[in-house]
Chain A
Amino acid sequence: MNAVALNSAIPSAARAVGPAIGGLLIAALGEAGCFLINGVSYLPVIGGLLLMRIEDRPAEQGAASLSTDMMKGFRYVLHQRVLVGLISLMAMIGLFGMTEITLLPVFARDVLSGGAALYGFLMAAIGIGAVMGALGMASWKHGHRGRWLLGGSLGLASALVLFASRARSCGHGSRWWALGQPSSPCRL
């Protein structure tokens, strides 16, 4: 498994487990208790950071400024067709394909009529999918990654359409094209 995939898998795994624990804690202790435990959980992290001993490295002679380095990076990327494609795809996914994460509390409470437990389950589902994707990308053959990326993008879009149409079926059947009608009870 390569380092990039492992780096992606660890926070994704945490995102799968954390919301589930959070949902249980909210059910048992309420929001205040959950926030208290969340705050206390930072103490071991802070302790670990304090225990780290990192030697200071002298600044490199003739090092370029941050803006110069960034411009060099942009110029390099613009000349690499594969990198332009991958980065622009990630930007498009960030811009249009991850709206469900922002709107997930609305789905959990107003559209699906659930609570903290449902929200935790939905977040955990996203995390589990991210872990599976990261581990899969690390193990699949190099020659097929483009196809898997295309399949994953289409799979994400299909799953989101199904999720939104299923969620929307609470009021008007499964006619997802009617989602924006003013009479919709799923409006914010």
Chain B
Amino acid sequence: MSIYSLLFVGSQQIGALAAGAGAQLVSAPLVVVVGALVTAAYAVGLLA
């Protein structure tokens, strides 16, 4: 449970930093779309 919390919360914080930086560099919608597609691709590769 601690490892799950550590990785999940840690990745959220890093993801939030990256999202803010990405939104500054390109645009907020593009950051969300790219993040969603990467997540979907990983989920399909893992679970399909």
Residues 1 to 48 of chain B near chain A (Cβ within 8 Å): 2-4, 6-12, 14-16, 18-20, 22-24, 26-40, 42-44, 46-48
Q: Are A98 and B15 in contact (CB under 8 A)?
A: yes
Known: A102-B20, A188-B28. A96 touches B8 (CB 8 A): no
The count of A-to-B residue pairs whose CB atoms sit within 8 angstroms is 155
A67 to B15 CA separation, bound complex (whole angstroms): 25
B16 / chain A contacts, CB cutoff of 8 Å = 98-99, 101-102
A186 to B33 CA separation, bound complex (whole angstroms): 14
A101 to B39 CA separation, bound complex (whole angstroms): 15
Contact with B32, one of A87, A163, A188 (Cβ below 8 angstroms): A163
Interface string of A8-45 (1 = CB under 8 A from B): 00000000000000000000000000000000000000
Question: Which one of A54-62, A128-136, A154-162 is at the B interface?
Answer: A154-162
A165 / chain B contacts, CB cutoff of 8 Å = 29, 33
Q: Are B36 and A156 in contact (CB under 8 A)?
A: yes
Contact with B36, one of A70, A107, A160, A179 (Cβ below 8 angstroms): A160
Q: A92 at the A/B interface (Cβ < 8 Å)? A: yes
Q: A123 at the A/B interface (Cβ < 8 Å)? A: no
Q: Are B33 and A179 in contact (CB under 8 A)?
A: yes
A36 to B18 CA separation, bound complex (whole angstroms): 32
A91 / chain B contacts, CB cutoff of 8 Å = 7-8, 10-11
What 8 A-B pairs come out closest when comparing CB atoms?
Answer: A153-B43, A157-B40, A94-B11, A97-B39, A160-B36, A179-B30, A99-B19, A164-B29
If A88-B42, A99-B19, A161-B32 are given as contacts, then 12 extra A-B residue pairs at C-beta distance below 8 Å, sorted by A number, are A94-B12, A96-B35, A97-B39, A102-B15, A102-B16, A149-B47, A150-B48, A156-B40, A157-B36, A164-B29, A164-B36, A180-B30
B interface residues with partner A (beta carbon < 8 Å)? 2-4, 6-12, 14-16, 18-20, 22-24, 26-40, 42-44, 46-48
Q: Can you name 28 A-B pairs with beta carbons within 8 Å?
A: A85-B47, A87-B3, A90-B8, A90-B11, A93-B39, A95-B11, A95-B12, A97-B38, A98-B12, A99-B18, A99-B32, A101-B16, A102-B20, A103-B23, A103-B31, A103-B32, A107-B29, A150-B43, A153-B40, A153-B44, A154-B44, A156-B40, A161-B36, A176-B29, A179-B29, A186-B29, A187-B26, A188-B28
